[in-house]
Structure 1
């Protein structure tokens, strides 16, 4: 047998333990320790008589070491993991056996003894200083134990052991290693000096800049992240990764958008980047801007169904029912041309068809064609407990004056898990809210909050119902509780600031609250609208108009239209105000904000 085919240490021990167990079940006495080392030889598979003789290579395993391994494994089998760890770690140091070090680290990890695993990894590294696996294991354990300050040294050593072309992959794994760290700022502080070193070398410059940017983003340092993204985009113009990360930075750094728009202007054929940009705009609650990008995508790839579905959904959000219907019908036609759809067996194809029909049903409902909406829902082949479909059916019943039946439909849905029950309650409260049943929605939410008084989403929804009922002090108390439980809940800051501004009370406090919301979601249209409204209340017409135009341009919502129209009216721009009011009435003639401002200003759009 060649040296490379030699049995590892653990096989010898396993064979001895196996032989010992067998002997205890078939013989009156167990084998002696002196005979134990011969067991592995006896257990060798018998060689074929016709095969050529092979050179016999003796194992490096001497009797004392073998006995030590045997004791360690027996202790482990007897549940004495701590003793086994110490015995086997000492054996690993004596033998310098990489397999044994790996085994000892595994024993510690199985016993959830992270510090012991770290001791073993360090011993492994010290005993075998050229072992890449030892350094890699040490880096991984330090990340797992959230000790970023100690990572730089073994990581630097590991990088030096690898060829220049392989170092980038090691660096690229850093963000994933620390993705669960509770202290991302410490991670950035500990690793940025090393990454600056690697960024100075041509072969690792790009990946180093990107890793710094990613760690900075995770640490909440969007400014540092954007600086490194800009540098990477400038120095490596053929790479899209910096631009994709810039899209992720949009909520914190709106100026990152300039990188994307400049690239798309220079290379309008970059469909993957435009697709990611459109999705980012949709996530940022900017449906008008997102729809613009998806219209371009449908023009460039008219036979690709995906952009048509996104465009239809966005047009529906913008209450452009005709445009939504047209885009969704095109989507369904292209989907039907794809192989396998007619069988409706492929879950992906079935879900795609279901999504299109659901949006088409919503479009028909929006334009008042309830019969067509129900017909489209009946075409959907989905599980009976599907909440989205049940909600649309409940909404159709409510539109026909059968609100109680709609509520019963939602209440009858199965809810085995707590999150399913929560989703049902939120859906039913939304149904009541859409039908202006404020008190019923408030009471329903209150019943669930009694069981879980720290669910911030339920508390926020109840605060909105309290406002509708005119219980302003209660609304404020609920929102303050949401903020206390979840300090990053920017909707709560915005709602409280807007409520104060709308009542023309504590305007500076209102402005501070809305500013706080904007730190979490810069450019979010409804928050920008709130800031425009508080500026109007403070008498700053110019700034109010600028902000409200920005918000309305990103999301032409009727409530934003009401605010912008009133500011324009106050500034003497009555004709433009009338056009904005008329457009909002066309989108949603039942909207309370539009009706209120028209009545207050005595305007006929």
Structure 2
């Protein structure tokens, strides 16, 4: 029975329900009718919405708000069929999905396809729903219709992105076959051939067939070495198919300006601790695109990690030059438009890289520049860099850096008080302050006080695996080896995937030249959890050396040193080379290590024990 409500009242209720109605297109021709009865104001945009149909829509929405989703679905689906309005069909599909009624959502999508056969969105919904309902083979028809109705100019991009619609599919093997059938008509067309290869490759990756995926990516790359889509697929393959890496390098050679993709590759290299290669890529990125600010920031951070503060400073100053104007402009825009949405929605077809905002990047750069100046003992310049930071979110980082400057000038008590005086608004900030103080003392080689701070932290935050690990490291420095082992085994019990704990315990046993078989098993467990971590590979090499397996030790240590030319790894590698009679090579490695960190205790002890003068 129709609602006995005047039409102007209906229009008012419709306005109140705007959040639920998701912007129906009102019929042309009703605007004049509405203007005769509605209050004065902006003209309403109408479509084929008659008064009875409007009542039907309102009843459907009211049923939904009353919790009767089934009735709302039926009422609004009937209205969608009558009008052929795509927004109405979309609304019905959403109602069914919100109610976890997959079959009803599919029925609405199929009705939508029938009513609007050229609707790309209707075909997409139908295909996704069929796959989600494990009726994958039936998805072929809507996929074909989706592609057929896509404009030719948009088809390559649509094809490349198609697999993303089915990232959560369960029957991926069947889906890969269905996709190949749907794409077959476009596989021989020059404009879409590369896109088809990439789409099929990504589907094969989803179907756990990475070798086939790599072969398809390589074929697409041969068609056009400058195309980013095959290179992005190669990047996705790196974890399981290291042989895909040459494709990436070939793409960068053909298209040096692939900045976003190269930064994503750098992130992968850093995750694998392949710092030297990451630096090479960043240097090439900055040469090809000198205005690519994020590359300069990453290059500075890596140079600093590799104990190259002068080179780090050059890169970081360049980042500041590029980013300071952007940060100022962003700050001014935010001030003039408070609450504005500043999210940057990237194209899904491009390499996705998480980048900090210019303001956040500047804060990071100033902190890193302060550290670079500190490493060069230019404490005044370090303080000047810190003074540029006005971010309250980084208050502890700034104070910890300032405290380090004081400590290096012999003002340890003031340094500790500076960290303790930092405001503590949450338990997490309290924990961070204790860690910062312990790290300060550790850097000063004040092992006893650092240990005591961590013991206090573990009383305040019991069963915190990371705090226990840090305390174990200080126990080792104090030669409390039984306590160190007890703490590390507690860490492993609390957090079985804490690979640092396995590695630390195994390495310490090896360094004491005891329980070497057990030490090797511990380090191998760590390596299972973190296969490319250079310090764990170094530990394994050191254990092999202790076991008298010098050639095996050399292989591990060379791999570790190539990935990360750290001074401690250099000390171990040099000793193995020395024992093998390759003394010129040993001296070369030791000299490289000394150039990076001449104060390193392991290197100094090694040279003194072997009575080697460089």
**Shorter-chain TM-score above 0.5:** yes
Q: Are 2:448 and 1:443 equivalent residues in the alignment?
A: no
Q: Structure 2: how far apart are the matches of 1:214 and 1:459?
A: 43
Q: Which residue of structure 1 lines up, in the alignment, with residue 105 of structure 2?
A: 120
The question of whether the paired residues in 1 share the 8 Å contact of 2:235 and 2:245 is answered with: yes
Aligned twin of 1:150: 135
Assess, with a 3 A threshold, how the Cα gap between structure 1 residues 340 and 136 changes in structure 2: closer, same or farther.
closer
The Cα of 1:557 is off from its aligned counterpart by 0.6
Residues 227-236 or 65-74, more deviating:
65-74
**Alpha-carbon distance change, 174 to 493 in structure 1, aligned in 2, over 3 angstroms:** farther
Structure showing greater Rg: 1
Secondary structure at 1:589 match in 2: coil
Q: CA deviation at 1:548?
A: 1.5
Q: Deviations over 1:463-521 (max 9, x none)?
A: 5445545234324423423553xx4x554554455445445556556555555555565
- Secondary structure in 2 aligned to 1:368? coil
Cα distance change on mapping 1:44 and 1:125 into 2, 3 Å: same
Conserved 8 A contact 2:197-2:217: yes
Contact 2:488 2:501 in 1 (8 A): no
Q: Secondary structure of 1:566's partner? A: helix
- Residues 87/125 of structure 1: CA separation in 2 closer, same or farther (3 Å cut): closer
Shift of 1:568: 1.0
| Match of residue 159 from structure 1 | 144
Residue in structure 2 matching 1:536, options 532, 537, 545: 545
Distance in 1 (CA, whole Å) between partners of 2:500 and 2:524 is 12
Partner of 1:193: 177
Following superposition, the deviation at residue 114 of structure 1 comes to 1.5
1:84 equivalent in structure 2? 71
Alignment map for 1:533-572 (pairs within 5 Å): 533-572=542-581
Cα offsets for 1:557-602 (capped at 9, x unmatched)? 1111121012112212233323323332332233232233234434
Does the Cα contact within 8 Å between 1:244 and 1:276 map onto a contact in 2?
Answer: no
For structure 2, the 5+ residue unaligned runs are 14-29, 38-46, 335-356
**Residue in 1 that maps onto 2:379:** 370
- State whether structure 2 residue 321 is matched by structure 1 residue 312: no
Aligned equivalent of 1:233: 221
Instruction: Give the distance between the partners of 2:198 and 2:561, measured in 1 at CA.
Output: 35
Please give the alpha-carbon distance, in whole angstroms, between the structure 1 residues aligned to 2:193 and 2:201: 12
Shift of 1:537: 3.3
The Cα shift of 1:408 comes to 4.0
What secondary structure is seen at the aligned counterpart in 2 of 1:394?
Answer: helix
Distance 2:502 2:50 in 1: 69
Asked if residue 44 in structure 1 is aligned to residue 53 in structure 2, the reply is no
Question: What SS is found at the alignment partner of 1:114?
Answer: coil
CA contact (8 A) 2:371 2:382 kept: yes
Q: Which residue of 1 is the match for residue 586 of structure 2?
A: 577
Which residue does 1:28 correspond to in 2? none
1:14, 1:594 → 2: CA distance? 89
Output the CA distance in 1 between the equivalents of 2:605 and 2:419.
32
Any conservation in 2 of the 1:251–1:520 contact (CA below 8 Å)? Answer: no
Q: Does 2:439 align with 1:430? A: yes
Q: Could you say which residue in structure 2 is the equivalent of 1:259?
A: 247
Residue 362 (structure 1) shift:
0.9
The DSSP-based 3-state class of the residue aligned with 1:375 is helix
* Aligned match of 2:188: 202
Q: Structure 2 CA distance, aligned partners of 1:460 and 1:118?
A: 52
SS in 2 for 1:202: coil
Which stretch of the first structure deviates more once superposed, 547-556 or 264-273? Answer: 264-273
The structural deviation recorded for 1:387 is 3.4
Cα RMSD over matched residues?
A: 4.5
Compare 128-137 and 565-574 and name the one that shifted more. 128-137
| TM superposition shift of 1:134 | 4.0
Q: Answer with 496-505 or 352-361: which moved more.
A: 496-505
Q: Cα 1:586–1:154, aligned 2, differ >3 Å: closer, same or farther?
A: same
Deviation by residue 1:280-314 (Cα, 9 ceiling, x = unmatched): 43443233233333344455556766554443332
Q: Does the 8 Å CA contact 2:69/2:99 hold for their aligned counterparts?
A: no
Instruction: Work out the CA distance in 2 between the residues paired with 1:223 and 1:500.
Output: 41
Q: Report the equivalent of 2:598.
A: 589
Decide whether aligned partners of structure 1 residues 327 and 477 sit closer, same or farther in structure 2, where only a CA change above 3 A counts. Answer: same
Normalising by structure 2, report the TM-score: 0.73
Shift of residue 328 of structure 1?
3.9
| Whole-Å separation in 1 of the counterparts to 2:75 and 2:393 | 57
- Structure 1: distance between partners of 2:394 and 2:436: 13
In structure 1, the partner of 2:409 is 400
Residues 68 and 87, structure 1, Cα contact 8 Å, conserved in 2: no
Q: Is the 8 A contact 2:488 2:505 kept in 1?
A: yes
Alpha carbons of structure 1 residues 161 and 364: separation in structure 2 relative to 1, 3 Å: closer
Aligned to 1:527: 536
What is the CA–CA distance in structure 1 between the aligned matches of 2:359 and 2:160, rounded to whole Å? 37
Contact 2:273 2:564 in 1 (8 A): yes
Cα 1:218–1:572 change in 2 (3 A) is: farther
Retained in 1: the 8 A contact 2:327–2:359?
A: no
The 3 A distance-change label for structure 1 pair 205 and 590 is: same
Q: How many residue pairs are counted as aligned between the two chains? A: 549
Q: Assess if the C-alpha contact under 8 Å between 1:199 and 1:205 holds in 2.
A: no
Q: What TM-score comes out, normalization by structure 1 length?
A: 0.73
Is 1:285 the counterpart of 2:273? The answer is: yes
TM-aligned CA distance change 1:208 to 1:139, over 3 Å: same
Q: Whole-Å Cα distance in 2 between the matches of residues 196 and 291 of structure 1?
A: 39
